[in-house]
Amino acid sequence: MQESEHCIEQAARSDDPLERLVASRILEFPSVWTRWENEHAALMRTVAEQRRPSNQVAALKTTCFSLIHRKALFEHLRDQHVRGQTRRQLLQYFHRTCGYSHAAIAEHENYLRSACSYLCSGQVGGAVIRDGVFEYPMQRYEELYAEYFMLFCKGCLGEDEETADSRALLPYLRYQLAEQRLAVMAMPRMTPSTFRDAKLRQPTGDTVNLRVDALRSQLDGSITH
């Protein structure tokens, strides 16, 4: 968790606008931070409970796969610029028991927590476990899953020719995903890139006063009162 908290602090100052946005939104509100912290701690506990280092690596890889899946819907809506009725249909498809507004808010919050945990898990894999598998090989799985999810979403809406074509491609993409997942799980330890670690640890003028410490003080105060 210490490494994850450090990762969030540095991501909030990152040159990458998406990393900066996700980290800032998590840090912005104590209630959001608390929910993310509890969920992420449970994920990291599952990894830490494994006795053998190889099992810890396998558990962290599995966690990353799960987080990629969890954040996929919001990323699809955002990246494919899904709007209007199609957006409503997709949210209704994945959130069958709640209304559109509630589903949209829930999906956005789920994305923020999942994206933040995925960022931190990758950092733990690269900086703590020192395994480069959590860089490009895992990113490749993420790319394949985004492609698969895009076609899945097209296939679950409507009955036209384009929908049928999307459904026809799904078995092939599922096979690609399964192959990449097996490859990532079986890969021996790789030397990680030093670029991201150095970038995340680059000192800034605000490094002394960590936002996480301030947030903890705010939470402690609210509990006391």
DSSP the chain: -HHHHHHHHHHTT-SSHHHHHHHHHHHH-HHHHHHHHHHHHHHHHHHHT-SSHHHHHHHHHHHHHHHHHHTHHHHHHHHTT--HHHHHHHHHHH-TTS-HHHHHHHHHHHHHHHHHHHHHHHHIIIIIS--GGGTHHHHHHHHHHHHHHHHHHHHTS--SHHHHHHHHHHHHHHHHHHHHHHHHHHPPP-PPPHHHHHHHT---TTSSS-HHHHHHHHHHHHHH-
Whole-angstrom Cα distance, residue 22 to residue 101? 21
pLDDT averaged over every residue in the chain = 86
Q: Is the pLDDT of residue 200 over 50?
A: no
Count of beta carbons in the 10 Å neighbourhood of residue 49: 10
pLDDT of residue 202: 47
Q: How far apart are CA 187 and CA 201, in angstroms?
A: 27
Q: Which tens digit of pLDDT belongs to each residue from 162-190?
A: 788 888 889 999 999 999 999 999 999 88
User: Regarding predicted confidence, which is higher, 65 or 126?
Assistant: 65
Dist. CA 124–CA 183, nearest whole Å: 20
Q: How far apart are CA 47 and CA 50, in angstroms?
A: 6
Judged against a pLDDT cut of 50, whether residue 219 lies above it is answered with no
pLDDT of residue 111: 97
Residue 163's pLDDT is 80
Q: What is the pLDDT of residue 217?
A: 52
Q: Give the least confident one: 61-70, 86-95, 157-166, 170-179.
A: 157-166
197 vs 82 pLDDT, higher one:
82
- Tokens 């509890």, residue located: 38
Confidence band (pLDDT; 50, 70, 90) for 119?
Answer: very high
* CA–centroid distance for 143 within its chain: 13
Query: Does the pLDDT value for residue 17 go beyond 70?
Result: yes
Q: Compare 207 and 140 and report the one with higher pLDDT.
A: 140
213 pLDDT exceeds 70? no
pTM (predicted TM-score)? 0.84
Write phi, then psi, for 130 (nearest 5 degrees): 65, 55
- Supply 1's token pair: 């968790």
**The residue type at 220:** D
Mean pLDDT to the nearest integer, 29-33: 91
Tell me the mean pLDDT in the region 148-164.
84
Handedness of CA 30, 66, 176, 78 (dihedral sign): negative
Structural domain boundaries of the chain? 2-130+193-216
